Structure 1
Amino acid sequence: MDFDELGTTERVLTLLGLLQQRQVWTGPELADRLGVTPRTVRRDIERLRTLGYPVHASHGVGGGYQLGRGQDLPPLLLDDEEAIVTAVSLLLGVNGAVAGTGDAALRALAKLDRVLPTRLRHEVRALSGAVESFDGGRTPVDPDVLMTLARACRDEVEACFDYPSRGEVRGRRVEPYRVVASDRRWYLLAYDLDRDDWRTFRVDRMTEVAARTWRFRPRPAPDAATYVQESVSSRVYQHRARFLIHASADVVRAQIPAGAAVVRARGTERCEILSGADNLDRIIAYVLLLGHDFEVLDPPELGILCRTMAQRLLAAGAATGQGGEDG
């Protein structure tokens, strides 16, 4: 690339920045700001159109050049202040200040991190630390830890960290696959190299997190969100319970928090619930409160408990009916 081409590229980027700053510019205004002729402005406008930017031109009073909305999303040109605000906003989404945005915010933040100049990083960190949300949101995690894990997933490099297990903090060495957000916490799905199996880790419990330089070849992996959800909803409880619910999966998912149970569609009118519990009485009561007909699938003692509870409810109803009669 020669100096003329470099000058053209810089001018076109400056032109793009101007178009993003104001709704409409006339040709003479742009020519004056760029120090070129209106003919050069027209050529640069065509270059932007070739790159995918829909620049519209209108004539007459109030007319000029306007950056429109396209079917595809072309690259954005951000100045330092805009980049800082964007990164801070994404960090708030990552930490749950904006409901339902965690995964998308982390993906976007990982992309922005690839091009964010080093000189801006400390400003992003300082500003994000000065903003809080009154909503409880997710369990707080260090944004730097999230970014380290997201980069390791993106770059396919091993990660290491200390993690508590059975009352002892141990070093773990993993191939990170995905960072997954639940309604309460952040998790890492990774292949544990020392245990030779897939594992789920809570990000807020990790310490001494670091990405290594050793690259790995990605393995065939389970669906990250499903794997983490099933692991979280059942692993910490004494019992695993399965029910067949006579309602659509969409209806039941709207009634149950994602961290409480896994809901799998079984056709269009039924679904299966997989959940964990320390007390089977409570999980039966919870399923009853959903308000749908259901069948017990597992474990067998759950069916016996349902019959026992049904007898209690019938007896309670009969006693209430007798007590309410006039003598």
Structure 2
Amino acid sequence: MLRLLSLLQTPREWPGSELAARLGVTPRTVRRDVDRLRDLGYPVEASLGVLGGYRLGAGAAMPPLLLDDEEAVAIAVGLRTAARQPVAGIAEASLRALAKLQQVLPPRLARRVSSLTSATAPTSATYATLVDPGQLTLVAGAVAARERVRFTYVANENVVSKRHVEPIQLVALDRRWYLLAFDVERDDWRTFRLDRVSSAVATGARFAPRVPPGGDATAFVTQKMYDSAPTFRARVTLRLPVELARARLADFAGELAAVDDGSCSWHSVEDTVDYLAFRLTLLGCDFVVHGPDELIGHLRGLGERISRSVGRPGAADQ
């Protein structure tokens, strides 16, 4: 019965004769064991006809899952990664699921998981804009089912609009989730930030497959992001030892070179002035910005706004 359940958890329909051959039993035994699984609460569905067979449907509760070694390792590594992703509420749930899985992993698999994760450089997503997991799940399902979606979208300058789109692909780019979609009412391709999407509803209307511009959704979204916001490389002297700066910048390190024991030069990777300024202020050290002028101007403006916000008499009491 465990082997039968493992086969049924594969997302396909299994003819009774094929299940019997796989398990080395008679079709009658398969029917009897299917009935037993139903009695235990597993929603085993059956369809008639030449192409019919058995499949495990969605139930009211999550049934126990049977995983082979490779699946268990993949899920454990995936849960550790998910705990660092910019999806609201998913970190805690991922850690709970990971704790349950690690409790039952055989030592040989636990060692494989540990080896894989220790060999992977961790990155922090605590600075990312969080996405509503319900919206993300709904949109992902609509992408898979090629189903049109309606939602409310907040664009730049807080412009709110209603959208009706054919969702083509989700793209995780840098620190955010994006949706590449064909806007039905505007008759053109559009890219949407998922953290700005709300009230998403799948309409039930299906659409024919579309090929993303250039054939590559990730490349298209990446180019759109660079086209919409100019990017720069910061040139900065950091009052930090070079190794400490490298640890704090992590995957955003770019080019670092020691100046002396207590400072280093930093040529960043390309990004917007907003994010470059943000990363500089996260470093917790003094620094001198040598360029570009756009970053210098942005930091000056930011500093003036901060000074005004904390410098007014009685501001702390408001």
TM-score (norm 2): 0.40
Decide which structure has the larger Cα Rg and report it: 1
Q: When the two structures are superposed, what TM-score results if normalisation uses the length of structure 1?
A: 0.39
